[in-house]
A and B are shown apart, each in its own frame.
Chain A
Amino acid sequence: MIQRIQVLASYFLRRLVGSVSGALYLLFTLGYWLVLFNPQQLTPDTDYFILVAGLFGPIAAFLITLTFSNWANQAINYPFLVRLPSRVEYLTALFISALVTTMTLQLILAILAIVFHGPDLSIFQFLEIPPLWLAPTVLAITLAMHATDLVSSGWSRVYIFGLLALFLFGQNISNEGLIRGLNGLSRYASNQGWFSAVNTVSSWTNSLANSPANLFTRITNALFWPFDAIARAILNGNFTGTQALAPAILMLYATILFILAADLFVNKDLILTEA
């Protein structure tokens, strides 16, 4: 199985090397470096370096996965697919190809950003980088798979990206302003000695605080907590015990998305494009 995955991954990578897409991704990396780590400017802060170079990973990974998936979805690959005992091997090879390409480009970016007026990183800061950069990249690859014709089946991508949009939107649904207003009203009533009014306003405040909208916001905030935790930890320069779990949670999300992608891919009809 490992050999077959290696063979397929090198097949996809070989196609990228020397292709127009490969050159474009290299140009994208250089452009990213020139714009966000301009060598003419002063040395960037360490947290800026880790965050901005880290952000390159998910962006590039998403685009690269779309490219590889497009190639993997071509009818020239029917003879390969027929030979595989499990279609999951094909998807794994695609994942590895996208990861290797992204990490190579990210490494080029990081080296350029360090060599030309880069920050001085301590050994501990260096050791923090791999999990910080790897987890969001892996998540972006598995998410991008669901956006492609290769993996999506029926309405699957509408459901997945619809749910993602709902979660992103859900973070901003909040009635905290109203709750704060009611709390102020409650304090005013209390100062005035209107105790029955205080009770009524307090019960409204409790109802609002426990309303489904607030519950949904709390759930979505919890789902997106790892991103927030990573960003805060980098900006603070150190991780708390809880924040250190954030990359692992992102990997868990990626695992769930990959299992879902594999399930969709294994059970779908493979009607590949004949362009």
Chain B
Amino acid sequence: MQMECILIEIQNVSKSFYTFKAIDGVSLKIPMGEVVGILGPNGAGKSTLFKLISGLLKPDDGDILATNGRIWPKIGYKPDRLLLPNHLRIGQYLKTIARLSNVPEQVVQQTTFDSLVKVDLVNAADKKIRDCSKGMRQRIGLAQALIGNPPLLLLDEPSNGLDPTGQSDMNRRVQELHAEGKTIIISSHQLHEITKTCTQLVILKNGRIHYEKSMSDALSTSSHTIIETDKIVEGALATQILSLHDDVQFDGLSVILRNEAMSLRRQIITMLLMGNYDVVHVVENKRSLAEIYAEVVA
């Protein structure tokens, strides 16, 4: 990863609340134009990390820096909870955000309109926020984050509480924003959402980063290989194959290789052929995000 592509660098940041260590020595580089998915169980430190990046919390240790001497990027932040000023109308709220974001007065109306278009709320501009559904409130949360065209978006659980259609719409919007070149940090408990939208994957647990890879690398890792034979392998050959590695198993006509045992695939196939068994099928199963997550979080 080249240095000039990094928008923000988090250097060994820690944050405690009394005796509870919410973030513990986290170091992370946020590449420009990427969608970084932050996964983790409840209490892993995801929202705390968002608040640290947005400047709402101050790190106890470490630094959060805009790299290459850039000034701190403008941030659009959608918090995890659907808390909005209920006494305002959607349009009023977005105009307030626009004016706070230094949008010139003559384009405030247009900016507000554009953000409403992006979240399909144009017809609801005059609606009181208190009368909005959960799905609408999520979209208002996203719309306010988009105002002023900030290069960095922090979306904390944007699909929380949405129905499947709403989730799918939100995924589409995140993908569109990525296509526009925005850098997005997104947290979610919806693994399919992260799989679809993110280019980088970070899994937090107990305030520490336990997994960090590009999404393509993460999903290209094989979970297990199945070698299917024409008949059940028995006798000395079976014992010999099983003794090669603890992660080699037999299941009916199949020999299953997991983890490091997958490197023995060629050797085992050779042994089977030499033992007069026909190899009828070899399948390499890729790991799903759910498997990676379960493995890391377990």
Interface residues, chain A, CB within 8 Å of chain B? 3-4, 7-8, 11, 14-15, 18-19, 74-76, 78-84, 267-271, 274
B:242-281 near A, CB below 8 Å: none
- Give Cα distance in the complex from A236 to B74, angstroms: 57
B:134-166 near A, CB below 8 Å: 144-145, 148
B:62-83 near A, CB below 8 Å: 74-79, 81, 83
20 A–B contacts from the bound complex (CB under 8 Å): A3-B102, A4-B102, A11-B85, A11-B96, A14-B87, A18-B87, A74-B83, A78-B77, A78-B83, A79-B79, A79-B145, A82-B55, A82-B76, A83-B100, A269-B56, A269-B57, A270-B56, A270-B57, A271-B57, A274-B81
Q: Which among A4, A83, A267, A274 has the greatest number of chain B C-beta atoms within 10 A?
A: A83
* Min CB–CB distance A90 → chain B (angstroms): 10
Determine if A76 and B84 form an interchain contact, defined as CB atoms under 8 angstroms apart. yes
Determine if A4 and B99 form an interchain contact, defined as CB atoms under 8 angstroms apart. yes
Q: Knowing A76-B84, A274-B83 touch, does A267 contact B58 (C-beta < 8 A)?
A: yes
Residue B26 interfacial (CB < 8 Å): no
Determine if B56 and A3 form an interchain contact, defined as CB atoms under 8 angstroms apart. no
Determine if A19 and B97 form an interchain contact, defined as CB atoms under 8 angstroms apart. no
* Min CB–CB distance B145 → chain A (angstroms): 7
In the complex, chain B residues whose CB is within 8 Å of the CB of A83: 74, 97, 100-101, 148
In the complex, chain B residues whose CB is within 8 Å of the CB of A7: 96, 99-100
Residue B168 interfacial (CB < 8 Å): no
* Min CB–CB distance A208 → chain B (angstroms): 48
* Min CB–CB distance B81 → chain A (angstroms): 6
The chain B residue with its CB closest to the CB of A17 is B87
Beyond A11-B85, A79-B97, A80-B96, list 11 extra A-B contacts (CB 8 Å): A3-B99, A3-B102, A8-B100, A14-B88, A18-B87, A76-B85, A82-B56, A82-B76, A82-B77, A83-B97, A83-B101
In the complex, chain B residues whose CB is within 8 Å of the CB of A4: 99-100, 102
Q: Which of A8, A14, A79, A274 contacts B144 (CB 8 A)?
A: A79
In the complex, chain B residues whose CB is within 8 Å of the CB of A80: 96-97, 100
Residue B54 interfacial (CB < 8 Å): yes
The chain A residue with its CB closest to the CB of B77 is A82
* Tally of chain B residues near chain A (CB < 8 A): 27
**7 closest cross-chain pairs (CB), A and B:** A7-B99, A83-B100, A82-B77, A270-B56, A76-B83, A269-B57, A75-B83
The chain A residue with its CB closest to the CB of B55 is A82
Determine if B54 and A82 form an interchain contact, defined as CB atoms under 8 angstroms apart. yes
- Give Cα distance in the complex from A80 to B57, angstroms: 15
The chain A residue with its CB closest to the CB of B59 is A269
The chain B residue with its CB closest to the CB of A90 is B100
In the complex, chain A residues whose CB is within 8 Å of the CB of B79: 75, 78-79
In the complex, chain B residues whose CB is within 8 Å of the CB of A82: 54-56, 75-77
The chain B residue with its CB closest to the CB of A269 is B57
* Min CB–CB distance A85 → chain B (angstroms): 9
- Give Cα distance in the complex from A1 to B163, angstroms: 40
- Give Cα distance in the complex from A267 to B75, angstroms: 19
The chain B residue with its CB closest to the CB of A271 is B57
The chain B residue with its CB closest to the CB of A89 is B100
- Give Cα distance in the complex from A268 to B57, angstroms: 7
Q: Which among B74, B83, B100 has the greatest number of chain A C-beta atoms within 10 A?
A: B100
Binary A-proximity of B99-120 (CB < 8 A = 1, otherwise 0): 1111000000000000000000
In the complex, chain A residues whose CB is within 8 Å of the CB of B74: 83
- Give Cα distance in the complex from A8 to B85, angstroms: 13
B:40-57 near A, CB below 8 Å: 51, 54-57
- Give Cα distance in the complex from A75 to B47, angstroms: 13
- Give Cα distance in the complex from A269 to B74, angstroms: 20
In the complex, chain B residues whose CB is within 8 Å of the CB of A18: 87
The chain B residue with its CB closest to the CB of A79 is B144
Q: Knowing A74-B83, A274-B81 touch, does A81 contact B97 (C-beta < 8 A)?
A: no
The chain A residue with its CB closest to the CB of B75 is A82
- Give Cα distance in the complex from A80 to B88, angstroms: 14
Q: Which among A7, A79, A269 has the greatest number of chain B C-beta atoms within 10 A?
A: A79
Q: Knowing A14-B87, A267-B58, A269-B58 touch, does A79 contact B81 (C-beta < 8 A)?
A: no
In the complex, chain B residues whose CB is within 8 Å of the CB of A78: 54, 56, 77, 79, 83
In the complex, chain A residues whose CB is within 8 Å of the CB of B96: 7, 11, 80
In the complex, chain A residues whose CB is within 8 Å of the CB of B145: 79
